[in-house]
Structure 1
Amino acid sequence: MAEEGGAPAATEKIIHTYPLIRHSDMSEEMRNEAMELSVTACEKFSHNNELAARMVKEAMDKKFGPAFHVVVGESYGFEVTYECTNICYLYFGGNQAICIWKCS
């Protein structure tokens, strides 16, 4: 669409209010738990990514056994080694990325 004068309209930024999974090979139960924990943590600690990551890690360790790692943030890249069927990478709230994986 064009505004008056022929200038193109500015594109609006779309912010998703639901978790968007980019990659996961977790079981359905573990993936659902990871998604719910991530949403809760990001809403509770919206201004502190470290506390959000700690909350998700501790809950995943308690429910599925130790050695989970969690990164919460914006604009990061990663390359990790993980146990098969134990990684989930998702977005929440637009550009907030959460990566959860387990190492042995």
Structure 2
Amino acid sequence: MADTVEAAPEEGVKKLAYSFPIVRHTDMTEEMKEEAIAMCISAFEKCANNNETAAKIVKDNMDKMFGTAWHVVIGESFGFGVTHEAKHLLYMFYGGSLAICIWKCC
């Protein structure tokens, strides 16, 4: 008979957390996209455990830089369908499974 070898589960397996943004969809200009990504990273560093505060920081900064009517959603496991102004949408992931959606209403 052939010997069967069972693979032992690896001990100490860690969940990967990416330290760089992964942009899933955007129609923003390159300059606006880079500013929005930088704002998100800065907000996450300031408020690592509070998504609501991080979203408020990003929204306030976007309102100051690019005019009013910006909306920001930060969280895990959400879907969205929004009506937005052309060239004013960013959907990205950061830190693994944390999703960020930024858009400006018409």
Specify if TM > 0.5. yes
Partner of 1:33: 35
Partner of 1:7: 7
Q: For residues 104 and 9 of structure 2, what CA distance do their matches in structure 1 show?
A: 45
Question: Structure 2 matches for 1:1-104, cutoff 5 A?
Answer: 5-7=5-7, 13-104=15-106
Question: Following TM superposition, by how much is the alpha carbon of 1:13 offset from its aligned partner in structure 2, in angstroms?
Answer: 3.4
Aligned alpha-carbon RMSD (Å): 1.5
The secondary structure found in structure 2 opposite 1:97 is strand
Question: Following TM superposition, by how much is the alpha carbon of 1:6 offset from its aligned partner in structure 2, in angstroms?
Answer: 2.7
Q: How many equivalent residue pairs?
A: 100
The secondary structure found in structure 2 opposite 1:23 is strand
Higher-Rg member (1/2): 2
Question: Following TM superposition, by how much is the alpha carbon of 1:14 offset from its aligned partner in structure 2, in angstroms?
Answer: 2.7
Runs of 4+ in 1 over 4 A off after TM superposition: 8-12
For structure 1, the residue ranges without an aligned partner over 5 or more in a row are none
Aligned partner letter, 2:42: T
Q: For residues 81 and 6 of structure 2, what CA distance do their matches in structure 1 show?
A: 45
Aligned partner letter, 2:28: M
Aligned partner letter, 1:6: E
For structure 2, the residue ranges without an aligned partner over 5 or more in a row are none
The secondary structure found in structure 2 opposite 1:100 is strand
